[in-house]
Amino acid sequence: MATTKTTTLTFRIEQGLKDAVRAAAELEHRSIANMIEMMIRDYCGKAGVLIQEPAKPLESSPKRKAGKKL
């Protein structure tokens, strides 16, 4: 799922929690930020919290010049 990130979330946690997230991220071959995102998505899914996804850009169809056949 490739998306453009548009917002920042900054917070402070205990060092032990940060170490645990770092270890979990390494096990999953993820960045810490991506691991936190996946944890939030997992929790929201289990709790029934809807996550509003960004709108997908419309795909444009190939343009044809008048009089030309493909």
Residue spans of the domains in the chain: they are 15-47
What confidence score (pLDDT) does residue 57 get?
A: 74
Residue burial 22-57, b: 16+ Cβ < 10 Å; e: rest:
eeebeeeeeeeeebbbeeeeeeeeeeeeeeeeeeee
What confidence score (pLDDT) does residue 6 get?
A: 81
What confidence score (pLDDT) does residue 30 get?
A: 97
Does 70 score more than 70 pLDDT?
Answer: no
pLDDT in tens, 4-63: 778 899 999 999 999 999 999 999 999 999 999 999 999 999 999 999 987 777 776 566
